[in-house]
Amino acid sequence: MSPSALPRATKIVATIGTDSGTPEALRALLEAGVNVFRLNFSHGTQGEQAERIRAIRALEEEAGQPVCILADLQGPKHRVGPVEDGVVLAAGDSFVFDRSSDVGNASRVGLPHPEIFAALQPGARLLIDDGKLVLRVKSIGDDSFTTTVEVGGPLSSRKGVNLPDLVLDSPPLTEKDRSDLAFALDCGVDWVALSFVQRARDVIEAKAAIDGRAALMSKIEKPAALAELSDIVTASDGVMVARGDLGVELPPEDVPGWQKRIVAECRMVGKPVVVATQMLESMITNPTPTRAEASDVAGAVFDGADAVMLSGETAVGKYPVETVQMMGRIIAAAEGHIMAHPENAPPKLPTEPSLYHAVALATVSLAETVGAEVIVAFSTSGNTAVRIARERPRIPFLVLSPFVEVRRRLAILWGTQTAGSTITEDFEAAIAEGVAEIGNRGIAAAGAHVVIVAGMPFGIAGTTNSIRVATI
């Protein structure tokens, strides 16, 4: 199969907003190439999200293909209290934060977050309004603390506060998050994104609350998370490089390096990784992206990301369908370049000393050696798909699973196409089923080799141990 004929391997995540959440808009986005719909629980009511979920599931039934839904929880967002109009802070000024609910002015403002007071240290920075204002802690009292303004500007009510130098002892799930999580799980979402992860224990606590009803994606957007990156990745089902808040709390020049490191860390252990935020930002208002934005999307592909995400571009933008189409073209061009110039591909990963990894590696190696046109994997849990995707095969990859929940979750995974299968203990019958599905999809010609991998006894999760070469 020629590089131009290969299906797009890197997946597209699109955030749904008021205008893009109608059945007609969702259908257009799916047809444009969206693989995963993101519901941002920082905006909209549960009732509005329920309507979107119903519309997506109806669209899934209509399209005859699994559609993945990602519920993104708001997390513990910190904000200043109310502020009177016209307040402007000047560099060098002293400014006080306290526990009062009184309206703030040019000398003080309330900060209704006890966990911040508990973690304070002299010299710690406060970044307000996405870093537009920078203040540094000078002295700490019982119910207030004094800062020095380093970068001034207007201060208005309820602006967000970032504290890049502190690890806050706050629970990973707020009361709102717990309510939204229970609601999302009852609605049958496939992935849950956990915001502002700081420690691996945050992930473990959230996974306990999810209790296996969805996969958990940790959003890396705090410097504290970088100190525990390996443990967080290990504890998570997937990871999002959330460059918005991460770019506020880190120097901008450090973000690209950390993006590469996070992607590499996830690939090493076979965890899906999504690169997010401002990828085609200018297309919120313009019909074409900047050349720098196109390079940014391609860079995520070259790094080996499983998926790239659109935020405001599809949630509130003027050109949501065109943005998805453009992202698809950029991805296809980048993947075509990798096929033509393998030296620019993400690096091959070291071999793990396990049977499951050995089978996945052997599957991909065998397929490439015999010139197979398709890899077919039978999977009841999705783990086989994850292990094979980790190897980034240069040929199409089809996963057959009897469980729609598994097929939906795999929609975010690099290179993975899915189809339903029947539950059988007959490997020969399974091979026939896989070959028939390939024929139905027209993804391999008559006489082509197909590599099929499954577990024996057939249909039992975690037993992938058998490889077969078949001919269409």
Tokens 């999504």, residue located = 274
> Residue ranges per domain, the chain?
3-75+171-341, 88-162, 355-471
Question: 3-75+171-341 and 88-162 share one CATH topology?
Answer: no
What was the pLDDT predicted at 346? 85
What was the pLDDT predicted at 2? 44
C-alpha 5/C-alpha 3 separation (Å) is 5
Q: Is the peptide bond before 457 cis (omega within 30 degrees of 0)?
A: yes
Q: Which fold has domain 3-75+171-341?
A: TIM Barrel (3.20.20)
Yes or no: say if 34 and 10 are a contact pair by the CB < 8 Å rule.
Answer: no
Q: Tell me, rounded to whole angstroms, the distance of Cα 250 from its chain centroid.
A: 20
C-alpha 338/C-alpha 76 separation (Å) is 40
Task: Write out pLDDT tens, residues 28-57.
Answer: 999 999 999 999 999 989 999 999 999 999
Instruction: Give the catalytic positions in this structure.
Output: 38, 79, 219, 277
What was the pLDDT predicted at 1? 47
Yes or no: say if 259 and 241 are a contact pair by the CB < 8 Å rule.
Answer: yes
Tell me which of 2.60.120.260, 2.40.33.10, 2.40.128.720, 3.90.1300.10 is the CATH number of domain 88-162: 2.40.33.10
Q: What are the start-end ranges of the H helices in 99-143?
A: 114-119
Q: Is 196 strand, coil or helix?
A: coil
Q: Tell me, rounded to whole angstroms, the distance of Cα 343 from its chain centroid.
A: 26
What was the pLDDT predicted at 458? 55
C-alpha 316/C-alpha 223 separation (Å) is 29
For CA atoms 349, 263, 204, 66, the dihedral sign is negative
Q: Which fold has domain 355-471?
A: Pyruvate Kinase; Chain: A, domain 1 (3.40.1380)
What was the pLDDT predicted at 4? 42
CA distances from 165 to 98, 118, 316, 322 (A): 19, 14, 32, 40
C-alpha 69/C-alpha 67 separation (Å) is 7
C-alpha 234/C-alpha 245 separation (Å) is 22
C-alpha 374/C-alpha 437 separation (Å) is 11
What was the pLDDT predicted at 442? 78
Yes or no: say if 313 and 284 are a contact pair by the CB < 8 Å rule.
Answer: yes
Q: Which residues of 213-222 are buried (b: 16+ CB within 10 A; e: fewer)?
A: bbbbbbbbbb
> What letter would DSSP give residue 160?
B
Q: Residues in the chain with pLDDT < 70?
A: 1-6, 351-353, 423-425, 455-465
